Structure 1
Amino acid sequence: MKSFFIHFICLFFILAAAPDLSADQTASPSPAKQTLRLMLDWFPNVDHLPVYVAREKGYFNAQGVSVEIISPSETADALKLAATGNVDLAVSYQPQTIIAADQGLALKVVAPLVRHPLTTLLYLADTGFDHPQDLSGKKIGYTVPGLMDVLLHAFASINKIDDYTPVNVGFTILPALVSGQVDAVMGPFKTYETVGMAQHGYKAAFFELEKWGIPDYEELIFVCSPAILKEKQDAIKGFVLAMEQAFAHVAAYPEQSLALYLDAVPQADKKMETDAFALTRPYFATTLGHDPDKWQAFADFARTHGLIQNQVDAARLIHTWQ
């Protein structure tokens, strides 16, 4: 299970051409890099591995960009801070982005990170749940308020889960399940929490959302505000191009990519991250761009099932790079 503690990683790059250049100055001047502040959706983990590969392989530097990676205090912080321009970029989720757009937040989606859902409705394997409807009358936890609780509502409606009690468990997933506080939890990733539970001697089972009525969606994406995109378009395009190189490297050299990540994030649990990476790797993006029809299908679903109140034109959220 993922840690409760958020590790703040502030990676400051000294601009080579700045007038107050310090000890990193070289004999011959080099072009100044533009710094972008990227806020993750959570503490660093293998979901973010391609970002670290882009940094460690020098792909950001080659695009004239330096990237400061920051962890949020709460999982919802990244999207809000990106929308207000307090960070340049954020890792977020497609459903959360559509919900935020419905609420009036101005956002632009600039690149994918994880192409398909990782989120599950997870439970202990020995509980005997064979169909979502078996959870009728049960207590069901959720992790991220404003996202996982609304997904749970839609999932329950589609799968006829009646009279359930929603419980905000945050990220105390395993304790909540083992103690009987809840019977299942909406929000754990099939590629991460399952590994953590196994390390603690518990076998997880789960219902995959896309197999039980939730449309396919992009689990993790990079977003920014329209104002930041306009102001820093060249730098953000450089970030996106560097990520494309990183995706290719991860696909071609998975073991080296994992080693780069583990060196960059020394506090990571190497056994857990290694096992989780094996499950996560097939879901990473390999190319840039987004499918507007896929995005619109989820937006229409969200309105039908009450996740959003208004019609959202998903294509307007997506920035297309030329």
Structure 2
Amino acid sequence: MFKSRLLLITSSLILLAGLILGACAQATPPLTTPTAISPAEPVTLRIVVLPILDTLPMYVAQQKGYFDAQGVKVEFIPAGSAAERDQIIAAGQGDGMVNDLVSTLFYNQDTIQIQIVSLARTATSEFPQYSILAAGNSGISSVEGLKGVEIGISEGSVIAYTTDRLLQAEGLSPDQIKTIAVPKIGERMALLGSGELKAANLPDPLSSLAIQSGAIPILNDTKHPELGNSEISFRKVVIDEHPQAIRGFLIAVEQAIKEINADPSQWESLLTEQKLVPEPLIGTYKIPPFPTGSVPSEAQWADVLAWAKEKGLISKDVSYSDSVTAEFLP
């Protein structure tokens, strides 16, 4: 009798425990593996590049992985001339470029096609960007000697603008300034070297090479650094579609600029690899400081606009605020 009662109690306890455990099991939600959040696909920005020093920070940012860190993929599209660069941009086959204020005016004279988002490079009191040189056998040694002398330029360009404005700043009147169109830089250098051209305006570092080869420096924008600059620009449609990518791009470039400015001597292999500096200058050429976190001023824009209207290159005003934005600066 006792055994039967004990067996009954034991069975009841086992049944009760089972019910309790079953209830607990139902009350505890099943464990689930969290869904992994995949990072957004990096935006690809296609940058049309000329073989010019102004693009060095972009190459450094690429080499150091700074674009990747910002979630931006950069594809460089080489162009042999400003005309080829502009064709690629106009066709929508490139997204951004290094250009200048004059070029931007032409893009935006009818509708806003591109926006400047940053300075790429600017002249300083020690480092020129544009230089007017005389041929070694020309007998010209001063600005006065350039009166009435044909100066080789590319017409309707930043070269033409800086030629006029530099000489005017030094006292020459417009009728004393004579120019001749030699659009190809290589040809302009060769004609200057042979003496067939008595004078020419050349961008740095090609001006340094010409001087090393015997040309005579007459005037450059170290005296008037507000005149010499280049810009980073993007197509407006790309800016509107990928504002964060533009911001990330500039953060990466800024990081590269700080490294370059801190130690300009460590980039010779990159200069050679990308042909940013002529071979004979490697080892002696000093890299200029690059500007950080800035855009051209409204006064600079207004002067280029005034010059273009004086020359009959454009007939109406082009808005600074629509063409230049500081919104994406780091």
TM-score computed with the length of structure 2 as normaliser: 0.73
Name the structure 2 match of 1:248: 258
SS in structure 1 of the partner of residue 196 of structure 2: coil
Quote the Cα distance in structure 2 between the aligned partners of 1:122 and 1:111. Answer: 29
SS at match of 2:176: coil
- Residue 145 of structure 2: SS of its match in structure 1? helix
Which residue does 1:204 correspond to in 2? 216
- Corresponding position: 1:318 with 2:324: yes
Structure 1 pair 126–53 and aligned structure 2 pair: CA distance change class (3 A): same
- The answer (yes or no) to whether the contact 2:152–2:197 under 8 Å persists in 1 is yes
Instruction: Say if 2:57 is the partner of 1:57.
Output: no
Residue in structure 2 matched with residue 71 of structure 1 by the alignment: 78
Supply the distance in 2 between the matched residues of 1:103 and 1:131 (Cα, whole angstroms): 41
Change (3 A) 1:303 1:275: farther
Within 1, Cα distance between the matches of 2:177 and 2:295?
Answer: 41
How far residue 182 of structure 1 moved from its aligned partner, in angstroms, is 1.4
Structural mapping, 1:133-144, within 5 Å: 133-142=144-153, 144=154
Q: Contact 2:77–2:94 at 8 Å: present in 1 too?
A: no
Task: Sort the Cα spacing of 1:300 and 1:241 in 2 relative to 1 into closer, same or farther, 3 A.
Answer: same
TM-score, normalised with respect to structure 1? 0.74
1:235 maps to: 245
Higher helix proportion: 2
What is the correspondence of 1:1-322 to structure 2 with a 5 Å cutoff? 31-40=40-49, 42-43=50-51, 45-102=52-109, 104=111, 106-116=113-123, 118-125=129-136, 127-142=138-153, 144-147=154-157, 148-149=159-160, 152=163, 159-160=172-173, 162=176, 164=178, 166-168=180-182, 170-171=184-185, 172-186=187-201, 188-189=202-203, 191-199=204-212, 201-209=213-221, 211=223, 216-217=226-227, 219-256=229-266, 258-259=267-268, 261-262=270-271, 265=274, 269=278, 272-276=281-285, 278=286, 280-282=287-289, 284-304=290-310, 306-321=312-327
Name the aligned partner's letter for residue 207 of structure 1: L
**Distance of aligned partners of 1:275 and 1:219 in 2 relative to their CA distance in 1, 3 Å threshold:** farther
Aligned in 2, Cα 1:163/1:293: closer, same or farther, shift over 3 Å? closer
Is this contact kept in 2: 1:112–1:218, CA < 8 A?
no
Q: CA deviation at 1:251?
A: 1.4
In structure 1, what is the Cα distance between the partners aligned to 2:118 and 2:139?
Answer: 40
User: Which residue is equivalent to 1:24?
Assistant: none
User: Contact 2:136–2:195 (CA<8 Å) still a contact in 1?
Assistant: no
Match of 2:7 in 1: none
Distance 1:80 1:63, change over 3 A: same
TM-fit CA distance, 1:39: 0.6
Gaps of 5+ in 2: 1-37
Amino acid at match of 2:41: A
Long gaps (5+) in structure 1:
1-28
Give, in whole Å, the separation in 2 of the partners of 1:133 and 1:178: 21
Counterpart residue identity of residue 220, structure 2: E
**Which amino acid is 1:93 matched to?**
D
Number of residue equivalences: 283
Task: Name the CA distance, whole Å, in 2 between partners of 1:320 and 1:266.
Answer: 30
CA contact (8 A) 1:113 1:285 kept: yes
Q: Which range moved further: 89-98 or 55-64? A: 89-98
Deviation at 1:234, TM superposition (A): 1.9
Flag the 1:61–1:263 CA change in 2: closer, same or farther, 3 A. Answer: farther
Give the corresponding residue for 1:13: none
Q: Are the counterparts in 2 of residues 108 and 318 from structure 1 also a CA contact under 8 Å? A: yes
- Give the AA of the match of 1:37: R
CA distance in 2, matches of 1:267, 1:107: 25
Pair member with larger Rg: 2
What percent of counterpart residues are identical? Answer: 23
The Cα of 1:304 is off from its aligned counterpart by 4.4
8 Å contact from structure 2 (residues 131, 220) kept in 1: yes
8 Å contact 1:149–1:166 — kept in the other structure?
no
Aligned 8 A contact 2:109 2:314 in 1: yes
Check 1:232–1:154 CA distance in 2 against 1; reply closer, same or farther (3 A cut): same
Q: Do the aligned partners of residues 72 and 108 (structure 1) sit closer, same or farther apart at CA in structure 2, a change above 3 Å counting?
A: same
How far off its partner does 1:66 sit? 1.5
Aligned-pair Cα RMSD in Å: 3.2
